[in-house]
Amino acid sequence: MEIAGHSLHRLRERLVEGIDGPLFALALALTAIGMAALYSASYENAARLAAQLGNLAVALVAMWLVAQIPPQTLLRLAVPAYVVALALLLGVALAGEVVNGARRWLNLGIGRFQPSEIMKIAMPLMLAWYFHCREGSIRLRDFALAAVLLAVPVLLVARQPDLGTALLIACAGFSVIFFAGLSWRVLAGLGVLVLAALAPLWGMLHDYQRRRILTLLDPTTDPLGSGYHIIQSTIAVGSGGFTGKGWLNGSQTHLEFIPERATDFIFAVFSEEFGLIGNVVLLTLYALLIARGLSIAAQAPTMFTRLLAGAVTLIFFTYAFVNMGMVAGILPVVGLPLPFISYGGSALATLYIGIGILMSIYRHRNLVQT
């Protein structure tokens, strides 16, 4: 009996080992909120909830597995991951399935998946590895090359077209470059360049993407078309008021006024039902999660782990900020889900893998790498 008890104890320890308490708690809390919102948004469809629980199970397993991988191994995996992801993106560009007017999916015998999801992790890995190798002697041209390494996948993804994911990958990559020590002068210069490039960039955008940005400025110009999302979601958010209409009581939601209410626009459901108070709680949870991530980054032992942790944390931030900004009508509509809340298996898995990476980094914080 003792041995069995001891084994169980050992099993429990082994499971818990490497799992950072605060991170895990925050992630789970957010996920739980997401379940409640999803239940409402899916009109109390238990099947949806069950599916998301299944997604969660997969994500948790992925998280645990990644948390067990020491950063040194991650370092070794960086380049292969990037190359594979890039190859898959090229594969999509050449032979991908078109769904809803966008070519984002690859169909391998086992199922469909989006290579751009893999790139979300592979990009910061790759760039972090890159700068880590040049630690101590990073020069301007290294940054330039990093920019190229970043630009190619971003453009491939933007071409699909998937503006939201492209933006995310760009932010992830850029934050690595930033944290790696890109000189302030170059940053300023880049800023100027970006402003100058806005015009030609505008020209490159698809019609519907342009319209999205224009309707942001005045959604009422196209109330039944591209402005519809924004108008409906801001009505939902605004009508929630201070305390919200109560769980399962959102009229905008339940009368089918909010499109994509279980995925990209689930924040509208949440705001309508839980009001300003709910939003403050949500913001706080995200802020705490990001704070934890940044603190892990601050304590990370190597350049690789520092950069990686910083980038992953900012990925969480980008997701949250862009999605909530879009639903509240201050950012153009791009298809980014709300992290841990929106329905979707691959997004959830990617997020929990990110959490796992942070956990792994934190666990190995006392190791010094030469």
51 binds other proteins (CB under 8 A): no
In the complex, minimum distance from the CB of residue 183 to other proteins, in angstroms, rounded to a whole number: 11
171 binds other proteins (CB under 8 A): no
283 binds other proteins (CB under 8 A): yes
Please state, in angstroms and rounded to a whole number, the distance separating the CA atoms of residues 324 and 339: 10
C-alpha radius of gyration, the chain, whole number: 21
Please state, in angstroms and rounded to a whole number, the distance separating the CA atoms of residues 176 and 182: 9
99 binds other proteins (CB under 8 A): no
Q: Where does this chain touch other proteins (CB under 8 A) — which range of 88-96, 110-118, 161-169, 294-302?
A: 294-302
What are the angstrom distances between the C-alpha of 140 and each of 52, 137, 150, 308, 348? 45, 10, 15, 20, 36
Please say which residue, 91 or 238, places its beta carbon nearer to other proteins. Answer: 238
Residue 159 in contact with residue 209, Cβ under 8 Å? no
Please state, in angstroms and rounded to a whole number, the distance separating the CA atoms of residues 246 and 275: 8
In the complex, minimum distance from the CB of residue 156 to other proteins, in angstroms, rounded to a whole number: 27
* Structure-token pair, residue 217: 């400025």
Please say which residue, 81 or 268, places its beta carbon nearer to other proteins. Answer: 268
199 binds other proteins (CB under 8 A): no
252 binds other proteins (CB under 8 A): yes
302 binds other proteins (CB under 8 A): no
29 binds other proteins (CB under 8 A): no
Task: Tell me if residue 330 falls in helix, strand or coil.
Answer: coil
Please state, in angstroms and rounded to a whole number, the distance separating the CA atoms of residues 86 and 307: 21
84 binds other proteins (CB under 8 A): no
The burial of 31, by beta-carbon neighbours within 10 Å (0-12 exposed, 13-18 middle, 19 or more buried), is given as buried
287 binds other proteins (CB under 8 A): yes
Q: Which residues of the shown chain bind other proteins in the complex (CB under 8 A)? A: 136, 175, 178-179, 181, 232, 234-242, 251-252, 255-257, 271, 275-276, 279-280, 283, 286-287, 290-291, 294, 297-298, 306, 310, 314, 317, 321, 324-325, 328-330
